[in-house]
Amino acid sequence: MARSPSPARRASSKLPRCSRLLVAASALLGACVAPFETRSAYEDQVYLCDDPDAFDARVEACRAARARGERCGGVISVRGSLQATDIVVESDMTSSLIRLQQSDGTLLLDEIEATGSTPYFFLTLQMKSVGGAVGAEPVADDRTLEIDPAAGGGPEQLADDRVDIGLRISNGAESVDLSGDDGAVMLTERARGELAGRFEGSFGDPEDRAEGCFHVLGLDVRIVR
């Protein structure tokens, strides 16, 4: 989840009326417009984490879609500031990958990557060094993991209380990786093919803080031995 420079970062200084976040999504927007000239699509978005019933209903709708043979990789909702832009987004994930590690016959959660679309960009949730033994059926998980971009570097990476989390913003042509620098991930449920929880922390800049909730349902589940 290392940060990589992008044309969006360089362009931001030349377009003072446009946030770096919207510049990164310029292929979707076409152009940046002053706030009084257009209504923000964020106004139609709901922060689902404040309404557990609504969030759970979206997750169940996702499960029902999967049962019909449709693609749904889970649900995510985020609010806060990313690249100096205030956002509120909700999204069904259209792709989701869960990697597991097998150790002495036990399956442990390792990495999560899930992507969904928002009004202005595609949002990808990435997590590494998650940890926790999993089986076929979901079980409750009450772990709180410290956000640490250096997590995952040692032999005990799946047994400690640290996690590497990041958010990727992309528009199909370019992308910006925003690494979580501090904060926490609170896990609530896990299984062989899913992971649920909440997070809060800074992403990319100490002043850019975001929080959110997620329930990833793996469309692609891989075991690494």
> pLDDT digits over 51-107, tens only?
999 999 999 999 999 999 999 999 999 999 999 999 999 999 999 999 999 988 899
Residue 189 scores a pLDDT above 50: yes
The confidence band for 39, taking pLDDT boundaries of 50, 70 and 90, is: low
The answer to whether residue 142 scores a pLDDT higher than 50 is yes
Q: What average pLDDT does range 151-163 have in this prediction?
A: 83
Q: What is the DSSP string of 102-121?
A: EETTEEEEEEEEEEEE-SSS
pLDDT confidence bin for 172, thresholds 50/70/90: confident
The amino acid present at 197, given as its one-letter code, is: G
Alpha-carbon distance of 112 to 101, in angstroms, equals: 12
Can you tell me the mean pLDDT for 151-166? 86
Identify the pLDDT of residue 41.
Answer: 83
Give the distance, in angstroms, between the CA of residue 34 and the centroid of all CA atoms in the same chain: 28
Confidence of residue 25 (pLDDT cuts 50, 70, 90): low
User: pTM for the whole thing?
Assistant: 0.83
Rounded CA separation 93/122 (Å): 10
For the stretch 204-214, pLDDT in tens is 999 999 999 99
Q: Does residue 154 have a pLDDT over 80?
A: no
Residue 149: partners with Cβ closer than 8 Å, 6 or more residues away: 1, 164, 166, 179, 180, 181
